[in-house]
Every structure is written in structure tokens, then in C-alpha cells.
Structure 1
Amino acid sequence: MMREDFKFEICANGVESCLAAQEGGADRVELCAGIPEGGTTPSYGEIKVARRLLTTTRLHVIIRPRGGDFLYSPLEVERMLEDIRVCRELGVDGVVIGCLNADGTLDMDANRRLVEAAEGMSVTFHRAFDRCRDPHLALEQLIQLGVDRVLTSGQQPTALEGIGLLRTLNMLAAGRIIILVGCGVNENNIRQIRDETGVREFHFSARTPVRSRMQFANPDVFMGAKDADESTLMYTSAERVRATIGNAVEE
């Protein structure tokens, strides 16, 4: 298989990870803040600097105002519309969205408003898809909305566990929408997922731990959860990006 047969997207938790993704040969990044919450909208400054420094890798930005569920109030939808407007002003290539109703169906009205606001940009529906009630119906509705791709682990904790549904979704998509496989994808399993699903777009983080450069830290004070490891930072590794892409492309 040829490299151009595939697309690789890196879940980037900051500009540093964006640059590592670009160095490693990724096609695009999904820029997120709040990774422990599953990804939230990054700051204006983060997006602006990433846009300036990404020259060969496309920039997509998650539009998610908070962690937790995907049932959004009218005020939260208004904020998401404003975030999409900002992304357009900054020259972002695509946005990543996803809204559900309380019963686990797609919130078609909210999603339609976000898709319309993003006209001219690529639109990905994120892993809210993995929390929806009926993935087959949801896939058809996303096609109707004009969404370009759906990020999914096959409604399982990891893509490896979701291979069965991923294979089915890829067949049902039939070229009408792109299935983007994510969650737990790495250099060790990407070829198996490729072979067993037929999917050609992959989403992964390729992060590695980096020790904090702080020489002093108060052991009694935590900025987040008590006993969390706040002396280790996680950044995307260009080497891991390159290795994962290589394993996916190789026969």
C-alpha cells in the first residue's frame, strides 16, 4: 500500500505536540485542551500559534466547551458557534463537533447549526458517536448533515475492541463519509486494525512522558486531583508518529 492511500491525524494537546506531529509526517492534527476530560476547545492563543507554525500539516480544532456528556444547553451551543467563528477567522482547516439528545440520539438541530457555521471547513463528528444509541442510524444522519468524517472506536473502550463495528461502519459508509478510527491506536496495533476493518484514516496521540524541569515543588499542594503526577508532562513524539505511520503503510 502507498502512503497516499492513508490519512493520519494526531490528537495534539498543544503547539509542541502539533509540531512533533508535523515533524513525524502526520496529515493533520486535532488540537485539544483538557485531554483528561476527553478534549475541550483550546484557547485563542493556542489556535493562533498552531496555525502560524503548521505549514504542511492541516489544523483541525475540537469544539467542545466542557468535559462530561454531549447534551448541550442553548448557551453552550451559542459558545460553540462563536468558537467556530473564531476558528474561521484564524484560518483553521476543520472543526470537530458532536451534540446528542438526552435519549442518546443525535441532536440534529444543534449539529446542523454547527455544520452550517463551519461551511467551507472540514467537519468531523467526534466520539460523541460512541455514546449514541444507534450507530447505524447516526451514521446515516451524519451523512445527511454533510459531515465529512466520524471519529469512532466502534463504541468500545478501544478501537482494537471495536473492530467488529468499525468494519461494519466502514462498509455502510461506502465512500459517503470517512470512518476515522481512534482511541488506543498505536504503532503495535495499527496494522491489525487496518487489516481487519479496511479503514484508511487513523487518529492517535503518540505521546510520551517528559519530566518537569521544576527543581522545587510543594508536596502538599496539588493543582488538580490529589496525588496526581504533576511532575510529568505528556507530549506527542515525532518518532512515535513516524513509527506508527510506517507500521500502517507497510505490507
Structure 2
Amino acid sequence: MSTTLLRLEPHDGAARDVTIDRAIVAGWTGRDQATVDHHVAELAELGIAPPSETPLYYRVAAAMATGATVIEVVGDGTSGEVEPVLIDDGDHLWLGLGSDHTDRELEAHSIALSKQICHKPIARAVWSYDEVRDHLDALELRAWIRSAPEEDWVLYQEGTLADIRPLPELITGSPAAKGAGRLEPGAAMMCGTVPALGGVRPARFFRMELRDPVLGRSIEHAYETLTLPIIA
């Protein structure tokens, strides 16, 4: 079993190192089932097999969770997805921000493999889940992309957690659920994304934000994707 060490920086507490030994990506988590069904039909036309159920929980190697600002990929057909992330360290349940970076070319062969092959960048900053649980739907997700450092950022995704199934529901359905609205200690779970504006497309640079308009604060993270040569 792989593990990874994430450095978490709570909004109002001391930084802590958390060993992640179970990483999960919750997919097909749109709250509007009609929209989810439509997306499933679109993918089927592209030859991508539909999920066996929705939502669906994909297991990825814990070592793929990373706080790095640079990740390496194979091929130029990968792209990020801004997502809320839940991390349970055994003492607290934290809400953070991450990107379910995915290999879009491999996705046509296997959605699970397309997720498992890419690192999952996660912001260090986190909030106590208890501090936001009464206004989760108000939290805002945004992402921007650009292909070169000199280019302007382009808004790529925008929505709120109201577009995603309620996080308590995703926690209960998770294979890492512990009960009482918690995950198993050492578990990290990405909880779904919002639509891409203008369609899904790759970009070298990805920037994301989770904003809390009620408490007036934000979590931000950015990373660069480097494509490995096929032959050294």
C-alpha cells in the first residue's frame, strides 16, 4: 500500500503533516441527475463506457496526492479539474482544494486508468469542515488555465458546491466512510467538479480557487504540467 505525506495548513491553527494512505476520487457527482445522464450519453457517443452507477468512487494510489506545484505527465492530452477535497487526519475532518488531473486520451479506454495515472495536486491550506458545514452550497469553485507564462489566465471552470451532490451524502457513500459523517483516518477524497467553460482541453498551467463568501476567505493553488518525452 502506498502512502504520501501532505503538509496541511489550517486557517487558524498550526501546520501539520498528515499521512495519506487511502485516496479516492468521487466521479459523476453532479447534483442534477438529468445533466449527469446527458453527459453519460455524450461520452457514450465518443466510445467511452458509461459508469456502472452514479456517483462512482475511483480508487487511486495515495502516492498520487501531492502538494507540488509541478507535476509530470505522459502525452499532451491531460487536463485539470478543480474539486473540493476532504481529508481526515483522525482528529479532524478538513475541507480543502485539489485538481483531479486526468489523461483525456486514456479516458476513452478506461476512466479509472485515466485518473489513476495522473498526480492529484492538493492545496496546503485547509478549513475545518465544521466551520463550513452549515453553508457548503455557498462555497465557490473556480479554475483558470494558460498555455504559456506570458499569457493571460483564462477562466476555465466556475460554479458552486450546490452544483455537486451534498458532501455529507458523498461521505456516507464513500468506501472510506467511517460513520458519524467522517472518513477513515488517513483518507483523502476528491468530491467532483463543475463544467468546463468552452469544453475540456489541456493547458500547461492550471490555477484554482475555493472561495467562502460567507466567511470571506479563499484557498488557492496553482501548478504546472510538464510532459515527459516518450524516449529519453
State whether TM-score is above 0.5: no
Which is richer in helix? 1
Larger RCO, structure (CA 8 Å, separation 6 or more)? 2
Which is richer in strand? 2
TM-score (norm 2): 0.24
Bigger radius of gyration: 1
TM-score (norm 1): 0.23
